[in-house]
Amino acid sequence: MPRLGLGSLELSSLGGTGQDVVTTIDDFFFESSTSGEVNPMLTTSRTNLIPYSENLATNWTSHGSTSSSDNAGTSPAGTNNATLVQKNGQAYARIEFNNFGTTLSSNTYTFSIFAKKGDTDFIKIRTDGGSVNEVSFDLNNGTVGSLVHASVINHSIEDAGNGWYRCSITAVNNITIVRVYVSDVDAVYSNTNNASAFFWGAQLEQDGFISAYIPTSGSTVTVSTTLNDTSNVWDFDSTDIMLEADPEDEGFWEEGSNLVLNHDYEELGSELITNGDFSNGSTGWNTIGGGITITDKANFNTVDNESLAQDGVLTNGKTYKVVFDILSVDSGNISVWASVNGYIQTFTTTGTKEVYFTYEGTDGQIRFRGTFGTGFVGSIDNVSVKQVDPNDRWTLGTGWSIEDGKLVGTSVSTQFAQQSLTLTSGTSYEVTFSITGADTLLNNNSFRYPYDGAVSNINYLPKDSPDGTYTNVFTSTGSSILYLGYIDAGTFTGTIDNVTVREYAIQPQDV
């Protein structure tokens, strides 16, 4: 594993440019995740959910005084129908499509568009619908820029020839808006000249990967066909997929049976901030002091006691991830505060910032303010606050936290990270996890794993070079709790990720 089965994909060419447009599809994907879960995906169709994929100046909205014009250059199709987007006397230039008719409900979506540099090297593409997902791209070098929002699960830039690149972003979100920006500075909105870029061929699809371009002109377009067998391994004509037995196999791990929930520590709750991109003015925000204005971003010109806040966002005892963009810093510093937690962290430079903390308080307030004694003159945008591990999969002892998609231990001693599981007494299980950034352990018998309540099921990390992937097979005593990381000698600092517990099946099976 992983194993990938593919059917046939029939494509027609666009004007000999090498860029493909889907006309029919025969494909079957069989994916295995890092947790060992095997997920067959029978895909008989693709839909471009953007009804106007071309002539973007006519059919999309130009923000403010942004200048956009159709038929301004040769597109990847070899036709003079590319759209030029250019700054025209405002802080940034963008066009957007926001007329889907309804909010596209929360799912995995991939947004892609073809782009070519004009008078600038950089663009950003974005999806929005309660939370913001953005990635910047360098059209001069054909590379991803420095801005990749933490909620983005995939992104790519592909050479489409003649200076064109196809840029894409994948995230789980509601969708109300898709946007593209141009800038002469990576990862920020502001421009110092008449920044411009060409765009063509926008596509939004409900899927976790980019597919061939599907042109639209007034309505969404779905391409589909009947699936046909093209392999002697997988049965493409039926959803009744059977795996063939191999007598020489000694056994297999029960696929799809990872018992650990939030095994990769990536689960985040829904967006808790109202109007995080300030597109609706000051809606949802309280300004404390007179030095803050909102114009599609929050502009600070403040002394240290002036703040921007939202109340009722946080819940006592829960852990949160805060993400926001600092667009400019003219002077001073900006700090994140949380009710009686008080000061959390201070920032002094532009870019996307992330903060993790556990909230203690009653008013639920999250606040951005100039640092004591310095104040802050600058601007911020794209504020997001989401609860970490929202379903409380993990119970964390002192010193353990979940940050940036990992279980983080900081000077941990005699404390577990644990999760309730359903284990059958007498049944064999395999436990696997990875550990990085660990201090050298002080004692062989210090870091315990796995541990389901029986002393006979305890293993220990080695005291030297503990980084790596660890696997152990144990027979359950029927305990319902998985314990990781009790430190009974010294302390431990490091990160843990990708925890799996799977039942072992003895019967031979070819997977």
Q: For 471-506, how does the pLDDT look when each residue is reduced to its tens digit (9 = 90+)?
A: 877 777 766 677 777 666 667 788 889 888 888 654
Binning pLDDT at 50, 70 and 90, where does residue 452 land?
low
CATH 2.60.120.260 fits 395-505, yes or no: yes
440-450 pLDDT tens trace? 665 555 566 66
For 340, list phi and psi in degrees, rounded to 5.
-70, -10
135-180 pLDDT tens trace? 999 999 999 998 888 788 889 999 999 999 999 999 888 898 999 9
Which of residues 283 and 255 earns the better pLDDT score? 283
Residue identified by tokens 């002393």 is 455
Which of residues 246 and 324 earns the better pLDDT score? 324
Q: What is the mean pLDDT of residues 96-125?
A: 88
Binning pLDDT at 50, 70 and 90, where does residue 384 land?
very high
pLDDT greater than 60 at residue 225:
no
Give the integer Cα–Cα distance in Å for 285 and 263.
35
Q: What is the mean pLDDT of residues 193-200?
A: 86
Binning pLDDT at 50, 70 and 90, where does residue 193 land?
low
Which of residues 424 and 465 earns the better pLDDT score? 424
Give the integer Cα–Cα distance in Å for 99 and 349.
36
Q: What is the mean pLDDT of residues 250-255?
A: 43
Find the distance separating the first CA and the last CA of the chain, reported in whole Å.
8
291 with 369: CB under 8 angstroms?
A: no
Residue identified by tokens 């600038």 is 120
pLDDT greater than 90 at residue 298:
yes
Instruction: Say which CATH topology domain 286-387 has.
Output: Jelly Rolls (2.60.120)
What is the Cβ-side half-sphere exposure of residue 81, based on CA atoms within 13 angstroms? 14
441 with 485: CB under 8 angstroms?
A: no
Burial of 509 (0-12, 13-18, 19+ CB in 10 A): middle
Give the integer Cα–Cα distance in Å for 414 and 489.
8
Model pLDDT, residue 423 = 77
Residue spans per domain, the chain: 45-223, 286-387, 395-505
Model pLDDT, residue 385 = 94
Model pLDDT, residue 314 = 93
Residue 415 CB neighbour total at 10 angstroms? 17
Which of residues 285 and 451 earns the better pLDDT score? 285
By percentage, how much of the chain surpasses pLDDT 70?
A: 73
- The domains spanning 45-223 and 286-387 adopt the same CATH topology: yes
407 with 433: CB under 8 angstroms?
A: no
Q: What is the mean pLDDT of residues 68-89?
A: 90
Closest CA to 145 of 108, 115, 178: 115
324-364 pLDDT tens trace? 999 999 999 999 998 766 788 999 999 999 999 999 888 89
Model pLDDT, residue 341 = 62
pLDDT greater than 60 at residue 293:
yes
Model pLDDT, residue 65 = 59
* Amino acid, single-letter form, for residue 376: F
The two three-digit tokens of residue 191, written as one number: 């421009």
Residue 322 CB neighbour total at 10 angstroms? 23
Which of residues 412 and 34 earns the better pLDDT score? 412
Running DSSP on this structure, what letter comes out for residue 91?
S
3-state helix, strand, coil in the chain (%, to 5): 0, 50, 50
Looking at every residue in the chain, the average pLDDT score rounds to 78
Which of residues 207 and 459 earns the better pLDDT score? 207
Model pLDDT, residue 444 = 52
pLDDT greater than 60 at residue 369:
yes
pLDDT greater than 50 at residue 120:
yes
253 with 358: CB under 8 angstroms?
A: no
3-40 pLDDT tens trace? 333 333 333 334 334 444 444 333 444 443 444 444 44
pLDDT greater than 60 at residue 509:
no
pTM (two decimals): 0.52
327 with 188: CB under 8 angstroms?
A: yes
Which of residues 57 and 65 earns the better pLDDT score? 57
Model pLDDT, residue 469 = 85
Q: Which helix (H) or strand (E) holds 317?
A: none
Instruction: Say which CATH topology domain 45-223 has.
Output: Jelly Rolls (2.60.120)
Q: What is the mean pLDDT of residues 76-102?
A: 85
pLDDT greater than 70 at residue 59:
yes
Model pLDDT, residue 233 = 43
pLDDT greater than 80 at residue 281:
yes
Closest CA to 323 of 98, 147, 125: 147
Sheet holding 481-484, edge to edge: 395-396, 417-420, 481-484
